A and B are shown apart, each in its own frame.
Chain A
Amino acid sequence: MLDTYLRISFILSMAMAINGIVGLIPLLLLQHFIFKKTLDPTYFNNKYYSNYEISIFDSFPLFLIKTIGYIKAIVFPGTMRRKFKENILNPKERPVIYLLALLTIIILFISGLIIINIGVMSAVLYFTG
């Protein structure tokens, strides 16, 4: 039983780590280029960002913070309403963008669960010797 748990945990952990390097970062970059064309013209201006933020979030790698902010605003609009004051995207109008953002959040959620499981696995290994 323990053996099977450790084997499954190992496979999931490696899959999460490899995905973190070769899946998550390209996914964020892809969304950055999509948001640059679709959302930036409306939201990346002085109404929502300071001049300082505009200059800093326009260059690599800090533009990823802006991209992650958009992802959060698309999937959890309530959490970013203080900044954007409205829903920045209607999922019915742009389903692909919504699904990509949702996919990112799902990947991060699963990654979070796997990281918690690594902690559990370490504790199990520690107590079982």
Chain B
Amino acid sequence: MFTLEKTLASNMSLLNGIPDSYHTYKQGNISKYQFDKIRKMKLNQYSGNIGPAIKKIVYGEEMIKNSFKLKPGRSLNATKSLVQHMGKLKSISKAASNGGIVLAGVGLAASCYQISQTEALTEKNEIAVKAIMSTGTGAALGTIATILLVGTPVGWGIILSVGVGSAITSYAAGEAVSYVYKSKFSNVDIVNSLGINKFCN
């Protein structure tokens, strides 16, 4: 979800100039050859950046250039299909982003359910520590990753590595801190002092 959202969002600036370049071409400020070259260059870079996996998810077997096809002469608004396709990309990016939030919410809800179903207080605390650590670390790492990636169109490989790295780190942080809790802090009642037990029940 992180990779899909961030790849599409960070590469939007590449698609930026295609409709504008078309209008510039129609006004006669650039030649058709120049416009075709700009369009081809932007689409090649976009295609390289989103990578084969996202290409397959978003475009299936269809060629990327077909989705960004202009229809000059057939309608009054030649860039209509292109703008519609950008709208589709927007929906996918937004859905991926919402999906990430939903997954985080589902994870927290599942932990909450586990807490409510567990009898032993120590176990309840361990589950809470794990859930808080994974979610908090994930939020911090997600923001750090966005700070590093924002403003530059980056390839899917980098974003995938960052996404997978963040997910693994968040999970490992939950496990490690929960282990320390178990061995050093098992007398501290986190679920009751933070009101988690009451909330989840």
Report A's interface with B, CB cutoff 8 A. Answer: 3, 6-7, 9-10, 13-14, 16-21, 24-25, 28, 49-53, 55-56, 59, 61-62, 64-65, 68-69, 71-73, 79-80, 82-83, 105, 108, 111-112, 115, 118-119, 121-122, 125
Contact = CB atoms under 8 A, between A and B. Distances in A.
B98 interface: yes
Interface in B117-141: 129, 132-133, 135-141
A53 B97 CA distance: 15
Contacts of A108: 140, 143-144, 147
Given A108-B144, A112-B144, A13 B150 contact: no
Contacts of B78: none
Contact of A69 (B15, B132, B151, B180): B151
Interface stretch (B49-57, B58-66, B88-96): B88-96
Given A6-B180, A7-B184, A68 B143 contact: yes
B176 interface: yes
A59 B169 CA distance: 29
B34 interface: no
In the complex, the 7 A-B pairs of residues with the closest C-beta atoms, listed nearest first: A17-B136, A20-B136, A50-B16, A111-B140, A20-B139, A122-B176, A20-B140
Interface in B144-192: 144, 146-147, 150-151, 169, 172-173, 176-177, 179-181, 183-185
A21 B135 contact: yes
B180 A65 contact: no
B67 interface: no
A21 B143 CA distance: 12
Nearest to B91: A56
Given A10-B185, A24-B140, A115-B173, A71 B147 contact: yes
B150 A18 contact: no
Nearest to A108: B144
- Residue from B93, B97, B135, B181 whose CB has the most chain A CB atoms within 10 Å: B97
Contacts of B144: 108, 111-112
A49 B13 CA distance: 7
Nearest to A83: B151
A65 B184 contact: no
A14 B181 CA distance: 10
Nearest to A22: B136
Contact of A21 (B139, B151, B180): B139
A17 B135 contact: yes
Interface string B1-39: 000010001001101110100000000000000000000
Nearest to B132: A17
A14 B129 contact: yes
Contacts of A122: 172, 176
A95 B165 CA distance: 35
A121 B93 CA distance: 36
B86 interface: yes
